A and B are shown apart, each in its own frame.
Chain A
Amino acid sequence: MNWKKDVGGWLLASPYVLAATVFFLIPLGWSLSLVFYDWNLIDPVRQFVGLENFRTAFTTSRVLYAFVNTYKYAAIFVPSVVVAALVLALIVQHLPRLKQFFAVGFFLPYLASGVAVGLVVRGILSYDSPFNEFLRATFGSSPRWLRDPTLALVVISAMIVWKFAGYYALIFLAGLQGIPRELYEAACLDGAGPFVQFRRITLPLLYPAFYTVLVLAVGLCFGIFTEPYVLTGGGPRFATHTWQLEIYYQAFDRYRAGYGATVAVLNAVATFVSVLIIRRVVEAWGVRRGFR
């Protein structure tokens, strides 16, 4: 290795290397070491428990709820956000002017504070909100939005769709802008209508964007925290419980650093495996349809 030649590169990379070491590698190593201990962060004695934390995690219903709910969230969130983002991208793409303005506008929910949005949604869905008053006056009753297990899951998923649709729309928009106009013109000359053009040109050529959005969306489902924390606390009866809520409750409510780290490691493994599977599925689909 030519150190003199590489020193400039290392210097330029050093802020990232330093940050990654301090904020990622050291905490990761620390977490991996904690999984073998029962420790509340302050006790002078750390009790070595071997694989007991893993045994507990695999047998407790709380982790099982977090695991299963993640796929329930994914089942609602992933198709909804893909459709919403694609629709938004197509709308912006076909706007005659002010494209950038609307693209940024749709992106804004991504920047909004999850806590603030949660409080607004809670206000809108509270029993005495004008919305629910209207429903009761019209239909005689209003749904128990955050107290019904299915509805609560749908409400939280809808919030996350709202937040991320604009962000993913930008990815689709970039993909749309990369499709040569000549393809549409040629298809038009061949008599293809808008639907056929969309199916035969837009969708196949958007495959890289789909791939990115699907992988991001599936990964995101393993990191849901703020929305259920603010709205339901993971209830009713764990119906909206997530991995991140479980890690938070164990580490900061029950002060079980070792067990919290164990759940975090399991969360990382579940995320890695799930993202890997979705990647393989999407790649296989792309190859089969000739998109790759």
Chain B
Amino acid sequence: MRRWLVGGMLMAFGLLSAAQVVEITFWTAPNPSQEVFWRQMAEAYMAINPNVKIVVSPMPEVPTSEAGILAAIAARTPPTASENIFIGFGEQLARSKAIVPWNTLPGWDNLVQNRAMNQTIEGWKFADGNYYIIPLYVNAMLIGWRLDILRELGYSQPPRTYSEVLAVGEVVKAKYPGKFVWLRSELEVPTWWQRWFDFFVFYYAASQGKALITGREITADDQAAIGVLQFFKTLRDRKFLITEPLATGFELGRTVMTVLGPWTFPWWRENYPELVYGQTFVVTPPPVPDAYPAEKPVFTFADAKGVVLYAQATPAQRQAMWEFIQWVFSNPAHDLKWIEITGMLPARDDVGTNALFTSYIQEKEPALLPYAQNIPYALPPFAHPEFVEIQELMGLECIYPVLVGELTPARGWDAWKRAIRPLLVK
């Protein structure tokens, strides 16, 4: 009888303990290295917090990660939180009340302070004044140059301005008629997100970081935008830019310039070990108009994504996730681990100045140093729920007609502005 009583008590205690365990789910980007990082974080956290069970899994891509998230929300099976959310998609989720503003949770200011995000976080403020996304990483998009080829052509450093790039093009074509300055086959394709990696990069550089769209208004620097379009067209007309599909360009030395994100370096190490930073290639900010002051910083586009908390989670799950997120982001060692595992730079103000990060980058991956230094000048995409159509129309109404000579750069730019105005007021 006594044995039964003790057994029953133990079972009841066990059930009570199990009931107190909060299970939360976290979806990572469908990228193995990011999944490894979050699994390690979750395991370390669960080791010191046994009352929390964190299930980490990559988000489904059916057919895109955004569509996978929408499908999960519609089916009422979203995770508690997920990463891989950029500000445009976040705006759409926020408008549908599918995510929770982080800044309404207690301790938000401390988190911003602890992670050194005071400056970075400003680019992530939504139109309603809230912060729905904690920025996880910021990949400044910079320009890679084949230094070995430039040296063969008599240059000791990459060109800085449009005229200097065109001059390099003349020399490239004179010596190597089969080579090009830049391969960008996507310029003729209207796929919306491709604009992040061509027009946005050059536009932010030319306009000193002026926003294309603010709220419901077009706030772009027209002259800078038209200058970028003219630059693209001149490159193409002189056959310095190839817009046809080409298997490999920069890596095999068929082109001398490429728009480059830091995620490329681990792939290069595996597949093109001959590409060595400082010897065969260097990284610089994007080329700028000739009149651009040399002493001024050059802005660029930032491929930046972050973490959101879903509104369908229970209050207990939200609280547990918030505590986990605070634990992850309040320790710089975790951000260092992020760099080590993913090769991408955390969204911190001090990543280019904090010795913890700079010493690692200098020693292990010096090519990341310009990326760290350019984070303050790397701007995220604009936040508007119609981002897909707005960016698609840029390709359809502006870039393609300008490239093939149907419209002048000025008319192409006006055509895009006219086409997106009805969308902006939605």
Which residues of A approach B to under 8 Å, CB–CB? 40-44, 122-123, 125-129, 144, 146-147, 232-233, 235-237, 248, 252-255
B339 to chain A, nearest CB (A): 32
Q: Does the CB pair A253–B70 fall under 8 Å?
A: no
The residue in B96, B254, B396 that gathers the most chain A C-beta atoms within 10 A of its C-beta is B96
Residues of chain A with a CB closer than 8 A to B64's CB? 252-253
Docked CA distance A123–B248 (Å): 11
Contact residues in B for A128 (Cβ distance below 8 Å): 246-248, 254
Chain A's closest residue to B192 (CB) is A253
Q: Chain B 237-281, CB within 8 Å of chain A: the 1/0 string?
A: 000001111111000001000000000000000000000000000
CA distance A128 to B97 in the complex (A): 49
Are the C-beta atoms of A44 and B246 separated by less than 8 Å?
A: no
Please state if A127 and B73 are interface contacts (CB–CB under 8 Å): no
Q: Once bound together, how far apart are the Cα atoms of A15 and B142, in whole Å?
A: 57
Contact of B388 among A43, A129, A146, A254 (CB under 8 A): A254
State the 6 A-B residue pairs at the shortest beta-carbon distance, nearest first.
A43-B96, A41-B74, A42-B73, A127-B244, A252-B67, A126-B245
User: A41 to chain B: closest CB distance in Å?
Assistant: 4
30 contacts between A and B (CB under 8 A): A40-B70, A40-B92, A41-B70, A41-B73, A41-B74, A42-B74, A44-B96, A122-B245, A123-B247, A126-B246, A127-B244, A127-B245, A128-B246, A128-B254, A129-B247, A146-B244, A147-B188, A233-B189, A233-B190, A233-B191, A235-B189, A236-B400, A237-B396, A237-B400, A252-B63, A252-B67, A253-B388, A254-B389, A255-B66, A255-B67
* List of B residues within 8 angstroms of A146 by Cβ: 244-245
Chain B 175-199 interface residues, beta-carbon cutoff 8 Å to A: 188-192
Tell me whether B188 and A236 are in contact (CB under 8 A). yes
Chain B residues with Cβ below 8 Å from A147 are 188, 243-244
Least CB distance from A139 to B in Å reads 16
Q: Which of B74, B92, B246, B388 contacts A127 (CB 8 A)?
A: B246
Interface residues of B (CB under 8 A from A): 63-64, 66-67, 70-71, 73-74, 92-93, 95-98, 188-192, 242-248, 254, 388-389, 396, 400
CB-based contact B242/A127 at 8 Å: yes
CB neighbours of B192 from chain A (8 A)? 253
Set of chain A residues within 8 Å of B98, measured between Cβ atoms: 42
Which residues of A have CB within 8 Å of B400?
A: 235-237
Please name all residues of chain B whose beta carbon is closer than 8 Å to the beta carbon of A42 when the two chains form the complex: 70, 73-74, 93, 96, 98
- Given A42-B73, A128-B254, the answer on whether A235 and B190 have CB atoms closer than 8 Å is yes
- Look across to chain B and name the residue whose beta carbon is closest to the beta carbon of A253: B388
Question: Taking CB as reference atom, which chain B residue is nearest A251?
Answer: B67
Q: Within the complex, which residue of A144, A233, A255 is in contact with B70, where a contact is CB–CB below 8 Å?
A: A255
Cα-based distance from A155 to B379 in the complex (angstroms): 40
A126: B residues at CB distance < 8 A:
244-247
- Cα of A8 to Cα of B305 in the assembled complex, Å: 57
How close is B370's CB to chain A, nearest CB, in angstroms?
A: 29
Chain B residues closer than 8 Å to A144, beta-carbon distance: 244
A122 — which chain B residues lie within 8 A by C-beta? 245
CA distance A233 to B392 in the complex (A): 12
Contacts of B95 in A (CB 8 A): 43
Bound: A236/B188 CA distance, A: 7
**Minimum distance in angstroms from B153 CB to a CB of chain A:** 21
- B242: chain A residues at CB < 8 Å are 127
Q: Do B96 and A125 touch (CB < 8 A)?
A: no
What residues of chain A lie closer than 8 Å to B388, measured between beta carbons? Answer: 253-254
A118 to B292, CA, bound (A): 43
CB-based contact B71/A41 at 8 Å: yes
What's the nearest-Cβ distance from chain B to residue A51, in Å?
Answer: 19
List 14 additional contacts besides A129-B247, A236-B189, A253-B388; criterion CB under 8 Å: A41-B70, A42-B98, A43-B96, A43-B97, A44-B96, A123-B247, A128-B246, A144-B244, A147-B188, A233-B191, A235-B188, A236-B400, A252-B63, A255-B66
Q: B231: shortest Cβ distance to chain A, in Å?
A: 20
- Among residues of A, the one whose C-beta sits closest to the C-beta of B186 is A233
CB neighbours (8 Å) of A40 from chain B are: 70, 92, 96
Bound state CA distance, A175 and B188, in angstroms? 46
The smallest C-beta distance from B63 to any residue of chain A, in angstroms, reads 6
Bound-state Cα–Cα, A256 to B190, Å: 19
Nearest-neighbour CB distance to chain A for B288, whole angstroms, equals 29
Chain B residue nearest to A125 in the complex (CB): B245
In angstroms, Cα B92 to Cα A42, docked, is 10
Q: Which residues of B contact A127 (CB under 8 A)?
A: 242, 244-246
Residues of A within 8 A of B248 (CB): 128
Give the docked Cα–Cα distance between A235 and B400 (Å): 10
Would you give the shortest CB distance from B145 to chain A, in whole angstroms?
A: 21
CB-based nearest A residue for B248: A128
Contacts of A252 in B (CB 8 A): 63-64, 67
Residues of A within 8 A of B93 (CB): 42
- Looking at the assembled complex, report how far the CB atom of A36 sits from the nearest CB atom of chain B, in whole angstroms: 18
> Which residue of A has the minimal Cβ distance to B396?
A237
User: B70 to chain A: which residues have CB within 8 Å?
Assistant: 40-42, 255
Q: How far is the CB of A112 from the nearest CB of chain B, in Å?
A: 20
| Residues of chain A lying within 8 A (CB to CB) of residue B71 | 41
User: How long is the Cα–Cα vector from A232 to B400 in the complex, in angstroms?
Assistant: 14
Which residues of A have CB within 8 Å of B92? 40, 255
Question: Closest Cβ of chain A: how far from B176's Cβ, in Å?
Answer: 14
Q: How far is the CB of A229 from chain B (nearest CB, A)?
A: 9
Question: Which A residues are in CB contact (< 8 Å) with B396?
Answer: 237
The minimal Cβ–Cβ distance linking A20 to chain B, given in whole angstroms, is 22
Q: Chain B's nearest CB lies how many Å from the CB of A5?
A: 41
Nearest chain-B residue to A123 (Cβ)?
B247
How distant is the Cα of A126 from the Cα of B243 in the complex, in angstroms? 11
B71 nearest CB across to chain A (Å): 7
**Complex Cα gap A40–B67 (Å):** 10
Chain A nearest Cβ from B410, distance in angstroms: 20
CA of A160 to CA of B327, assembled, Å: 54
Give the complex CA separation of A144 and B64 in angstroms: 29
For residue A123, which residues in chain B have a CB less than 8 angstroms away from its CB? 247
